[in-house]
């Protein structure tokens, strides 16, 4: 029998049944050799100059190891998986983006692919390996791997087949319980269902629906890196990753910085895309939202206008086209909406220059610009929070993409009636005739108690996430304030408490009442910094945001203030649902007004922790 030790597995939190010291030592030596190889090569690393594809070298430990038998072969193959590929004197290390990595990561690859065993390494300090854990995909058929030599690892007794593969990759829960920070590369715990979407065909358009916290942004960011990775056969050179806000862009950029080929992925937000195309000022006002400022019919009107005017004036500019638009009678707006449309048009600035200062008009001005001056196109566009784009914005993007699309979103988090109701409408706007339609089901952010509470806002919420990795957790704390002053005081008290409870993590206050809460904070010793960030002299911190600004972000704990004041569509509470689901572990609701009816109904039968 080989010598074994029982060690605590940082992957599962449980005990590793067999942790063979000689195997561990061997793998640590391999890791040392791998790191030395990377160090040697990284000296000569040059950023891709777009004519020569230099593989990116990132220093990091081995992720895993695979033994498999390809169809028709008469011997097994073995290789390691890591962030960067290497050849260690004949021992192959493939990168996470290489096609063969599907054997390690993928769901569909499975048993019939020939995969026999997968070994996962957990990371120790300084790129070391802490432990290993083996997962037999087939019934064990001998030694795990040929090295260390079969004699050392072969077991004398037949082993029992592994009862069932774990539902989520070991180590995921531990990862999720760490304090929330910016999104990071997650190559060690990328789930099979996520990997399959990350590595889906680059030439097929793909729509991915997922409830809050199901890992959509993880898929979107890793997909951007995968599409451009030089270890793929035909890496893409220009990929856009478009999300809702610049705060979101900063939240996700570490993933792309770490994994993507430098210079290949543009991370931006939709407002920024438009602002850059039309050259609008950074500071801008916003008039009231108006349906036809974003409609496909407005797009059609502008299409017709540009086609017609250009015949008469080949040098037509967006500014001139805008002036014509202000007076044209050739409108594609339905008759029922026309009177309202004409009234709205009369209120618009008379010059293009002035219109640039109104954010509501950016889609209109951007669309005119892309119609008149062709833009550089991307090889692939990925859109996160796709449910928030309005028809005219989708039409703009069609002028920026020459390849396929990856669209991820949650139609339950829709925030205005100006956006398409579902994926079908979006695909029609993009003119897609073929696409793959997938969904994500695992819950990675937010405990079950919080997500079940938030689900009271959704129609047909049953079974909305297949499982919740963080488990049941604590129910939300609901606090009723008697006056508006008390509402603000309790809010700050709770933000202060939660910040103390999560010293390394992130706390948010999410509310439509950002101004009054901010001015209360100001009067009580809090100071505002960049990116909606507030802190006080005791070192407490929180982020104060509207639901709109909180899209795509996440926090360890969240205080949602005055739920009834959030914008709601008939039958749809997208903005409030978004706010509630930003919390990973703790949710506090503070209200002075009556809670929304759906919440009240839910609270009659379910009991969260309520403070009078
Ligand atoms: N495979 C994974 N391993 C570790 N953490 C993960 C994994 N997948 C997702 N997570 C974590 O779960 C959280 C939620 O993921 P993500 O932000 O991608 O969800 P989402 O579906 O985009 O949510 P929303 O639409 O509500 O913004 C993030 O903190 C992310 O790091």
Regarding whether 382 and 469 lie in a shared domain, the answer is no
C-alpha–C-alpha distance, residues 235 and 380, integer Å: 11
Residue 569, pLDDT above cutoff 90: no
Instruction: Quote the ligand 1 centre to 212 CA distance (angstroms).
Output: 9
Q: Which of 19-23, 283-287, 428-432 has the lowest mean pLDDT?
A: 283-287
What backbone torsions phi and psi does residue 401 show, to the nearest 5 degrees? -125, 130
* CB neighbours of residue 595 within 10 Å: 17
Q: Which amino acid residue places its CA nearest to atom 5 of ligand 1?
A: 176
Last residue of a domain, which of 386, 413, 440? 440
C-alpha–C-alpha distance, residues 416 and 575, integer Å: 9
Q: What is the DSSP string of 107-156?
A: SSSTGGGTEEEEEEEEE-GGG-EEEEEEEESSS--S-S-SSS-HHHH--S
> What is the mean pLDDT of the segment spanning 258-279?
94
CATH number where 547 lies? 3.40.50.300
Token pair 């408490």 is at which residue? 497
Regarding whether 349 and 221 lie in a shared domain, the answer is no
**31 class by beta-carbon count within 10 Å (0-12 exposed, 13-18 middle, 19+ buried):** buried
pLDDT of residue 20: 86
In a domain, 158, yes or no: no
Q: Which amino acid residue places its CA nearest to atom 13 of ligand 1?
A: 445
Q: Could you tell me if 67 and 98 are in contact, meaning their C-beta atoms sit under 8 angstroms apart?
A: no
| DSSP 3-state of 456 | helix
pLDDT of residue 233: 87
Last residue of a domain, which of 384, 417, 440? 440
Q: Which amino acid residue places its CA nearest to atom 16 of ligand 1?
A: 215
Task: Give counts: helices (H), strands (E), the chain.
Answer: 20, 24
In this prediction, residue 158 has a pLDDT band, given cuts at 50, 70 and 90, of very low
Regarding whether 316 and 224 lie in a shared domain, the answer is no
Q: Determine how β-strand 239-243 pairs with β-strand 436-440.
A: unpaired
Short-list 422, 416, 364, 438, CA closest to 395: 364
In this prediction, residue 19 has a pLDDT band, given cuts at 50, 70 and 90, of confident
Task: Encode pLDDT of 286-326 as tens digits.
Answer: 777 888 899 999 999 999 999 999 999 999 999 999 999 99
Short-list 368, 347, 369, CA closest to 358: 347
pLDDT of residue 306: 97
pLDDT of residue 461: 55
In a domain, 238, yes or no: yes
- ∠ CA(467), CA(472), CA(476), 5° rounding? 120
Q: Which amino acid residue places its CA nearest to atom 1 of ligand 1?
A: 190
Q: How many domains does the chain have?
A: 4
Regarding whether 200 and 106 lie in a shared domain, the answer is no
Regarding whether 421 and 306 lie in a shared domain, the answer is no
In a domain, 275, yes or no: yes
| DSSP 3-state of 440 | strand
> What is the mean pLDDT of the segment spanning 435-446?
91
Q: Could you tell me if 103 and 73 are in contact, meaning their C-beta atoms sit under 8 angstroms apart?
A: no
In this prediction, residue 7 has a pLDDT band, given cuts at 50, 70 and 90, of very low
In a domain, 531, yes or no: yes
> What is the mean pLDDT of the segment spanning 210-214?
90
Name the CA dihedral angle for 398, 401, 407, 411, rounded to a multiple of 10 degrees.
-20
Regarding whether 468 and 528 lie in a shared domain, the answer is yes
C-alpha–C-alpha distance, residues 135 and 577, integer Å: 38
Token pair 């890496």 is at which residue? 235
pLDDT of residue 108: 61
Short-list 179, 183, 170, CA closest to 258: 183
Task: Encode pLDDT of 21-58 as tens digits.
Answer: 999 999 999 999 999 999 988 864 444 544 455 667 88
In a domain, 45, yes or no: no
Q: What is the DSSP string of 519-546?
A: HHHHHTT-EE-STTEEE-TTS-EEEEE-
Residue 216 assigned ligand-binding role? yes
Q: Could you tell me if 191 and 222 are in contact, meaning their C-beta atoms sit under 8 angstroms apart?
A: no
In this prediction, residue 8 has a pLDDT band, given cuts at 50, 70 and 90, of very low
For CA atoms 539, 545, 549, 552, the dihedral sign is positive
Residue 212 assigned ligand-binding role? yes
For CA atoms 242, 246, 250, 251, the dihedral sign is negative
In a domain, 572, yes or no: yes
Regarding whether 600 and 478 lie in a shared domain, the answer is yes
**Better-scored residue on pLDDT, 301 or 602:** 301
Kindly state if the Cβ of 264 falls inside 6 Å of ligand 1: no
Q: Tell me the two tokens of residue 409.
A: 């979103």
Task: Output DSSP code: residue 550.
Answer: T
**Better-scored residue on pLDDT, 153 or 175:** 175
Helices (H), 10-135: 21-42, 102-105
Kindly state if the Cβ of 194 falls inside 6 Å of ligand 1: yes
The pTM of this model reads 0.91
Rounded to two decimals, the ipTM of the complex is 0.99
Kindly state if the Cβ of 172 falls inside 6 Å of ligand 1: yes
Last residue of a domain, which of 390, 424, 440? 440
Instruction: Quote the ligand 1 centre to 95 CA distance (angstroms).
Output: 22
Regarding whether 483 and 353 lie in a shared domain, the answer is no
Atom of ligand 1 nearest to the CA of 219: 18
Regarding whether 101 and 35 lie in a shared domain, the answer is yes
In a domain, 11, yes or no: no
Q: Which domain holds residue 107?
A: 19-39+56-144
In a domain, 172, yes or no: no
Regarding whether 515 and 415 lie in a shared domain, the answer is no
Regarding whether 222 and 119 lie in a shared domain, the answer is no
Regarding whether 528 and 513 lie in a shared domain, the answer is yes
Give all strands of the β-sheet with 239-243 in edge-to-edge order: 265-269, 239-243, 378-383, 401-409, 206-210, 436-440
Q: Which of 242-256, 400-414, 455-469 has the lowest mean pLDDT?
A: 455-469
In this prediction, residue 447 has a pLDDT band, given cuts at 50, 70 and 90, of very high
Mean pLDDT computed over every residue of the chain: 88
> What is the mean pLDDT of the segment spanning 153-165?
51
> What is the mean pLDDT of the segment spanning 594-608?
85
Helices (H), 431-470: 448-454
pLDDT of residue 605: 81
Token pair 């531990």 is at which residue? 174
C-alpha–C-alpha distance, residues 189 and 171, integer Å: 7
pLDDT of residue 273: 96
C-alpha–C-alpha distance, residues 411 and 545, integer Å: 22
């Amino acid at each position: 029998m080989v010598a074994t030790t029982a060690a605590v597995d940082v992957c599962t939190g449980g005990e590793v049944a067999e942790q063979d010291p000689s195997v561990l030592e061997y793998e640590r030596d391999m890791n040392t050799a791998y790191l030395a190889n990377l160090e040697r090569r990284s000296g000569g690393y040059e950023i891709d100059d777009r004519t020569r594809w230099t593989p990116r070298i990132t220093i990091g430990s081995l992720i895993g190891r695979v033994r498999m038998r390809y169809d028709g072969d008469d011997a097994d193959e073995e290789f390691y998986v890591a962030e960067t590929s290497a050849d260690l004197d004949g021992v192959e290390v493939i990168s996470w983006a290489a096609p063969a990595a599907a054997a390690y990561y993928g769901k569909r690859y499975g048993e019939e692919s020939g995969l026999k065993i997968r070994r996962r390494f957990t990371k120790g300090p300084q790129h070391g390996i802490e432990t290993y854990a083996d997962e037999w995909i087939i019934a064990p058929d001998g030694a795990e791997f040929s090295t260390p030599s079969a004699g050392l690892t072969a077991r004398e007794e037949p082993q029992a087949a592994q009862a069932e593969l774990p539902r989520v990759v070991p180590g995921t829960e531990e990862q999720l319980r760490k304090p929330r920070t910016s999104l990071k590369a997650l190559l060690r715990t990328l789930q099979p269902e996520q990997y399959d979407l990350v590595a889906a065909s680059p030439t097929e358009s793909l729509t991915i629906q997922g409830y809050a916290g199901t890992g959509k942004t993880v898929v979107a960011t890793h997909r951007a890196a995968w599409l451009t990775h030089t270890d793929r056969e035909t890496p893409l050179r220009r990929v856009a990753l478009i999300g809702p806000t610049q705060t979101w862009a900063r939240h996700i950029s570490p993933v792309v910085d770490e994994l993507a080929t430098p210079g290949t992925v543009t991370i931006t937000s939709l407002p920024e895309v438009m602002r850059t195309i039309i050259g609008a000022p950074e500071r801008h006002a916003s008039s009231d939202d108006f349906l036809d400022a974003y409609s496909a019919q407005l797009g059609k009107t502008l299409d017709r206008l540009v086609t017609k005017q250009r015949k008469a004036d080949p040098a037509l500019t967006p500014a001139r086209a805008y002036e014509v638009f202000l007076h044209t009678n050739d409108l594609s707006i339905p008759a029922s909406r026309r009177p309202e449309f004409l009234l709205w048009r009369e209120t618009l600035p008379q010059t293009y220059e002035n219109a640039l200062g109104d954010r509501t008009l950016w889609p209109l001005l951007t669309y005119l610009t892309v119609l008149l001056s062709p833009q550089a196109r991307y090889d692939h566009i990925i859109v996160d929070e796709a449910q928030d784009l309005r028809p005219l914005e989708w039409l703009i993007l069609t002028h920026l993409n020459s390849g396929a699309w990856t669209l991820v979103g949650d139609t339950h988090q829709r925030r205005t009636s100006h956006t398409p109701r579902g994926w079908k409408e979006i695909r029609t706007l993009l003119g897609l005739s073929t696409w793959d339609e997938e969904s994500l089901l695992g819950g990675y952010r937010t405990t079950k108690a919080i997500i079940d509470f938030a689900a009271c806002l959704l129609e047909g919420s049953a079974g909305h996430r297949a499982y919740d990795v963080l488990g049941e957790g604590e129910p939300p704390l609901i606090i009723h304030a008697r006056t508006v002053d008390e509402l603000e005081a309790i809010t700050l008290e709770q933000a202060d408490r939660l910040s103390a409870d999560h010293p390394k993590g992130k706390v948010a206050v999410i509310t439509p009442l950002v101004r009054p809460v901010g001015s209360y904070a100001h009067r009580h010793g809090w100071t505002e910094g960049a990116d909606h960030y507030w802190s006080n002299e005791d070192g407490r911190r929180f982020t104060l945001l509207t639901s709109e600004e909180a899209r795509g972000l996440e926090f360890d704990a969240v205080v949602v203030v005055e739920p009834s004041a959030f914008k709601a569509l008939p039958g749809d509470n997208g903005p409030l649902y978004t706010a509630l689901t930003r919390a990973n572990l703790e949710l506090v609701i503070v209200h002075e007004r009556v809670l929304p009816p759906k919440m009240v109904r839910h609270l009659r039968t379910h009991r969260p922790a309520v403070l009078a």
